[in-house]
Amino acid sequence: MSEFKHISVQDVADNMSAYRIVDIRDPNSFTMGHMPDAIPLNNDNFGAFVQQTDRAQPVVVVCYHGISSQQAATVIANQGFAEVYSMDGGFEAWKQTQPVVTD
């Protein structure tokens, strides 16, 4: 079983371009606000994500509070991705100090 790592909001913000950011919150929440360059990830597009994403690029998984993202990060890591992170505090922590994009 592959392992994920934890990463802080500040570490992601400091080097955003290095990460593929996936948001596992529900579609309505994503539309109302998400991290810049984040993509929504759910059961419907998971297979395409795995096939189309470079497994060498670090992936950061974001949920509401950093709890659900841990399980999702494990699933992604088990697909052969080299570096997978769960962002501590989730989107709720991100929006306290960082920019939010709305669709």
Cβ neighbours of 43 (radius 10 Å): 7
pLDDT digits (tens, 9 = 90+) for 57-75: 999 999 999 999 999 999 9
The span from the CA of 89 to the CA of 62, in Å, is 9
Hey, what domains does the chain have and what are their CATH numbers?
Answer: 5-97 (3.40.250.10)
| 3-state DSSP helix/strand/coil % of the chain, to nearest 5 | 40, 20, 45
Cβ(59)–Cβ(86) below 8 Å:
no
> Per the structure block, which two tokens stand in for 71?
């399980």
Residue 26: pLDDT band (50, 70, 90) is very high
Give the mean model confidence (pLDDT) for residues 11-39.
Answer: 97
Catalytic residue among 63, 84, 87, 93: 63
**What is the token pair recorded at 23?**
């948001």
pLDDT at 14 over 80: yes
- For the chain, give the mean pLDDT: 97
Is position 63 annotated as part of the catalytic site?
Answer: yes
The average pLDDT across 96-101 equals: 97
The answer to whether residue 1 scores a pLDDT higher than 70 is no
Tokens 């989730």 -> residue: 90
Question: Hey, what are 33's tokens?
Answer: 């606000």
pLDDT, residue 2, reads 75
